[in-house]
Structure 1
């Protein structure tokens, strides 16, 4: 909570993506509703009433805070002014700063099922937050939010006029062959092609006119290029391999529709892109016990498969960004259209997220491409832990999501040349955290030498120290906020393992 002790920090920050100041000496500023809408539709934020917008760091104050808080909730509970009240009593409070009062409003990001949050009983008055400003959302973003809020998976949409003739027979046969190979006793193996496609929800009966037609999932997974593009002109799936780590470097390999690798439906793209990614993983991808050499690569390959599958089943294919995979020498970036529908913190701990494309997920699950919702990210994080890779990064925009998986180790990424410092980091990687005495004993170095290099690593922001009971311990500095929950859980498990060992 904001109070008299920490208000200076917020004033010095100034307005940003998650912080807004409003002058409101005598009356609640009605334009604050735009910011509430914007924060709720984006990443959340804090509004402080009673701070000058003209003079930086100046508290102008609120004359009667309780009166303005009442005005705020009168607005929030009027559906003709805002579509949904996103605030509770605990989210709004006044703070006395010396001889002046301010009002603090905490706005949490709204659940995707309740978006968009709009004003004046008009969905076109939907606001989003970008930088320091509140902006009206585009029609495309509003439509994306509305689709996400629907109870139905959008890919179950029935496509009038689209039939089995719009599907690629070779893709269907390859799919059936995989099912037969993986599960020779599956009852679907003995069905005719039409009955098989009905069972996996590629074809459904339109109960309005009793005609059989394709689902959107069926068209996307098995469709011909021209049929997919006819229904979704912006449809795009692409893989590109860069020749260097520079963003605008040339590419050495590319997978985009050209007629050579078959139809660019999701089934073909999933397997073609996955095979290309696998070929870029060296046979010695796993770090061994000494944390410097490498051994096997199976878990990293599984992580790549999960990331690729997640990009597809969570993609909003009505968004023009589609699915785009970029392979740099040191990392893989998985981009898909559509916002992240849970928080970054929950994402990394494997919290349940309903996929946008439930039917596509079920089609892929039948041939073991993906499993139940929520298992993909833990497998990715398991590979990161197993190979001691640099932690993944996420970039969540209002209309797209981006996951970066590195295949460089923590030590490789830090580029540490000093052998003592390298030894300290390796020890901390293995144990999650270490005391100074443990480092001295394990590395057989003096107290003076240990302190010297621990201080050096702290100055480089590689290590941080904290206390467990009365003992000072050192751990890697993980400054990425969205990984804190994952690291906390991981550390707790490490403590339990240490207790068991002893």
Structure 2
């Protein structure tokens, strides 16, 4: 957020002064992280109850005079931003600041912590305790407020309903072990794996938000149930289907436990290594056709957001150049584009009980970062960004590309590592010939990132010259002498001796292309002389026909 916008925001917050969703603190160079966590829990819960999108914790404003006094809290930006991880590690479900803003005013530095409202049906706890506000005071979340939040979606949550007749015998032992390991990893700062493994099954399942007071839920069966326990969810098929389309065709269905079977489904996908750039334009970069983290993120999102009441299955279609993920139910909160920046946090979940359980097992987060992470992941691999198709009213389709659409786009990402995700998203639309608003077109044109006229825009060709220069540099750069002398030593160790001609053959193609024939000959001669004068090698032949060997150590 720009400084001017932050000035306006702070003025508005001060004018409203402290209430249940705003807290000002006169903080110097230190403040208890645990207390910050308590305020985070309280403000997030109060924002939910008051139906506002966010709450604010502000450092650097005097609580009595209502004036800016400045704060030296965590002056180093990297250390300041690390607070996000600290908060995420101790909140249940895992959630953290949407953003931490720094305002540099003439009266001092002000820090504004932007806190997302707790999702509907999910009160936020800090270190196992729920907090709230009573006027300007911090207090525990009362049962009335706790019930109010939990009842927001209770009756409509398919995943949170108790699975009648289900017992612990219906759960897969391998899935339970994996669930304990994932839970212990998530809460490594609180519980040792050995301790989690000793908990009774009922205790673990309740702590991992998989059961309700010991009762097995539909979410429990989906994530941890045995394959033969799927009938407990009837008429919901509880299936994920992998389907191969193209020259070859195949398919396979996967039922519970989803915690294990998402990884097994991923292994069915043909994930070869690709050279994504032509050799005559840049040294080839090899990457996997699909990134496992991105594929599992997409699949886990399908599980978390599926409308199970429509009794459909999740489908992953593998085409020669892309994967298509389909799940039942419309996009539940906003639009996919809202989440690309990583700043929007969803207020509501179609399956809050399932979403919270998956978050406890490290399968998803509850901050809305999944779409952002998938876009960043594809950009870092120089691939096209994911596409969403919401044309069907009761289904969501997402495509992950496994092939380059426009080589100029990929070369641009390799050349310009400082591009913002907003710019990359816009360039991705250009390469896919999708509409782009005039403001973004002007921005990209000013930055020399695109060429042509609407609607025939294309990623700028000028980057090709830059990447060609980069390739030239790689071919002409000189290595350190240590590199060349090591090659000679390794050769002598393996073959015992070498003539000048053999050393020339060894080094010639590895010397810089910027050197001519005479310069390369002189370079090799100087290397040999240097190794001789340092008594690394000796001539066991004649002066006219030298034969070089490594000098024996005494």
Larger radius of gyration: 2
TM-score, normalised to structure 2, is 0.43
TM-score, normalised to structure 1, is 0.47
